[in-house]
Amino acid sequence: MALWKWLAGRASALRGLMAPRYHPERHYMRGPGPACARRGSGSQPAT
């Protein structure tokens, strides 16, 4: 059983190196960034 656990762990690590999983929450922008603040446009009027 310990050998199977070790092999499964190594296979999982190898898979993570060869084809990492995509986590959209790591790439999702949450609001305007610093470039928007540098423009100094202030708040936009609501339509």
Question: Mind listing the pLDDT tens digit for each residue in 1-47?
Answer: 899 999 999 998 998 888 878 877 777 767 777 887 788 765 555 55
pLDDT at 47: 56
Cα–Cα distance for residue pair 20/1, rounded to 1 Å = 27
Q: What count of residues does the chain have?
A: 47
**For position 7, what pLDDT does the model report?**
93
| 24 secondary structure, DSSP code | G
Look at residue 2 in the predicted model and tell me its pLDDT. 93
